């Protein structure tokens, strides 16, 4: 069943991590691929099945943030855990700053090894996958409910219709690193010393430009001329957002035991920085091919990336490394994905 897919319909997640690198608003794509990888490892042992790729469809999200005085910047709602005071020290517990959110998402994963066709066997497998899913966290959050698990094996067009029938309304996260690469090349023609992060910020930051309100007979603005501040458009159309799409190695791979206090004592260790790119939230009804939605891991030299089919640009021109070695930049800058 080469066209077999497993659909996790409307997973309700509580307290998912919504900070990824420089950005906030939605978990990194690595969270969802990691969730699929964890399920695949268990299914390989119990059922000799593997899950490949992962499409992410968002139906609802709510960031735990508020405006302290009803205006100005939003801040994350924090909690003290445990909320009670310490009995011996008689001190209130510290606040560990975190960014949390509630969300409802659907996931689609390919299952090329599936060979069963009987309804009873499919229902049993769906229930087994449901039980396994509830044993895991998704993006650091607790899975509260999964509406249903669907195992579909149809041709391309019937699959698309089935997905749209099950999952609309919903928006698919798409890889648009091609737009970042194209905009970067355009900026280099205008300014030779431009950096890739400048192109990325054009998609990520909210920029405003002053338009002078010239009075009758006034040819040029002066210091006293009033201005209207207009929001500048992004370099391309669409619901474009900054995303984290993987990691970039910044050190050699160290053998087991070389790095002190490593969490895993059986696996070699490598230090990395987060890689950033551009994504697009696209309505599910605009998707033309199922394969276009699926994110996959890709390894290239020192890059460990999540990408979709059709995105073949050189990684040096499509990804922004988190290590923009400026501590002030890292402390002060945070972009929203929403």
Q: How confident is the model at residue 8 (pLDDT cuts 50, 70, 90)?
A: very high
Distance (Å, rounded) from C-alpha 262 to C-alpha 253? 13
- Mean pLDDT over residues 78-87, rounded? 67
Q: How confident is the model at residue 318 (pLDDT cuts 50, 70, 90)?
A: low
Predicted local confidence at residue 88, as pLDDT: 59
Q: How confident is the model at residue 87 (pLDDT cuts 50, 70, 90)?
A: low
Looking at the chain, list the stretches that DSSP marks H as alpha helix, in order from N- to C-terminal side. Answer: 29-47, 119-134, 156-167, 177-190, 196-204, 327-332
Residue 323 has pLDDT above 50, yes or no: no
Q: Which residue has the higher pLDDT, 83 or 32?
A: 32
Predicted local confidence at residue 71, as pLDDT: 77
Helix pair 196-204, 177-190: axis angle to 10 deg: 120
Residue appearing with tokens 């195992």: 151
Question: Do residues 67 and 55 lie in contact, with contact meaning Cβ atoms separated by under 8 Å?
Answer: no
Distance (Å, rounded) from C-alpha 329 to C-alpha 326? 5
Helix pair 29-47, 119-134: axis angle to 10 deg: 130
Question: Do residues 75 and 16 lie in contact, with contact meaning Cβ atoms separated by under 8 Å?
Answer: no
Distance of CA 90 to the CA centre of its chain: 41
Q: Is the dihedral of CA 189, 190, 195, 200 positive or negative?
A: negative
Tens of pLDDT, residues 107-157: 999 998 887 778 888 899 999 999 999 999 999 999 999 999 999 988 888
Q: Measured in Å, how far apart are the chain's first and last C-alpha atoms?
A: 37
Residue 278 has pLDDT above 70, yes or no: yes
Distance (Å, rounded) from C-alpha 167 to C-alpha 148? 11
Distance of CA 28 to the CA centre of its chain: 3
- Mean pLDDT over residues 64-85, rounded? 78
Tens of pLDDT, residues 219-256: 788 887 888 899 988 999 999 999 999 999 999 999 98
Q: Give the per-residue SS3 of 140-179.
A: CEEEEEEEEEEEEECCHHHHHHHHHHHHCCCEEEEECHHH
CA angle 297, 298, 303 (to 5 degrees): 115
Domain boundaries, given as residue ranges, for the chain: 4-66+96-174, 178-279+297-336
Residue 270 has pLDDT above 80, yes or no: yes
Predicted local confidence at residue 225, as pLDDT: 83
Judged by DSSP in three states, 218 sits in: coil
- Mean pLDDT over residues 51-56, rounded? 94
Predicted local confidence at residue 89, as pLDDT: 60
| Beta partners for residue 65, in sequence order | 76
Predicted local confidence at residue 192, as pLDDT: 85
Among the listed residues 108, 230, 89, the one whose alpha carbon sits nearest the alpha carbon of residue 160: 108
Show the tokens assigned to 52.
């490949």
Cis peptide before 82 (omega within 30 of 0): yes
Residue 338 has pLDDT above 60, yes or no: no
Question: Do residues 229 and 263 lie in contact, with contact meaning Cβ atoms separated by under 8 Å?
Answer: no
Average confidence score pLDDT of the chain: 85
Tens of pLDDT, residues 152-175: 988 888 889 999 999 999 999 999
What one-character DSSP code corresponds to residue 202?
H
Q: Give the per-residue SS3 of 267-285.
A: CCECCEEEEEEEEEEEEHH
């Amino acid at each position: 069943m080469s066209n077999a897919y497993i659909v996790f319909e409307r997973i309700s997640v509580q307290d998912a991590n919504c900070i990824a690198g420089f950005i906030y608003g939605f978990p990194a794509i690595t969270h969802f691929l990691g969730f699929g990888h964890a399920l695949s490892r268990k299914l390989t042992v119990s059922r000799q099945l593997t899950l490949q790729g992962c499409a992410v469809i968002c139906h609802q999200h709510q960031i735990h943030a508020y405006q302290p005085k009803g205006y100005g910047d939003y801040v994350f709602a924090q909690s003290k855990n445990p909320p009670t005071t310490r009995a011996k020290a008689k001190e209130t517990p510290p606040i560990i700053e975190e960014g949390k959110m509630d969300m409802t998402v659907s996931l689609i994963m390919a299952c090329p090894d599936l060979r069963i066709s009987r309804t009873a066997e499919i229902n049993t497998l769906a229930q087994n996958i449901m039980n396994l899913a509830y044993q895991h966290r998704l993006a650091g959050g607790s899975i509260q409910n999964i509406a249903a698990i669907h195992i579909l094996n149809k041709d391309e067009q019937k699959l698309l219709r089935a997905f749209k029938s099950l999952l609309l309304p919903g928006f698919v996260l798409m890889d648009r690193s091609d737009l970042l690469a194209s905009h970067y090349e355009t900026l280099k023609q205008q300014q030779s010393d431009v950096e890739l992060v400048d192109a990325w910020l054009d998609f990520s930051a909210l920029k405003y430009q002053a338009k002078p309100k010239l009075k009758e007979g006034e040819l040029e603005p002066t210091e006293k001329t009033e201005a209207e501040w207009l929001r500048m458009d992004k370099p391309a159309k669409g619901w474009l957002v900054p995303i984290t799409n993987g990691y970039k190695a910044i050190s050699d791979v160290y053998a087991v035991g070389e790095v002190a206090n490593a969490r895993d004592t059986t696996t070699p260790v490598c230090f990395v920085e987060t890689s950033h790119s551009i994504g697009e939230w696209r309505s599910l009804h605009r998707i033309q091919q199922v394969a276009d939605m699926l994110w996959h891991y890709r390894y290239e030299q020192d890059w460990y990336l999540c990408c979709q089919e059709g995105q073949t640009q050189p990684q040096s021109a499509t990804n922004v490394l988190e290590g923009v070695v400026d501590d002030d930049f890292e402390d002060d800058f945070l972009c929203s994905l929403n």
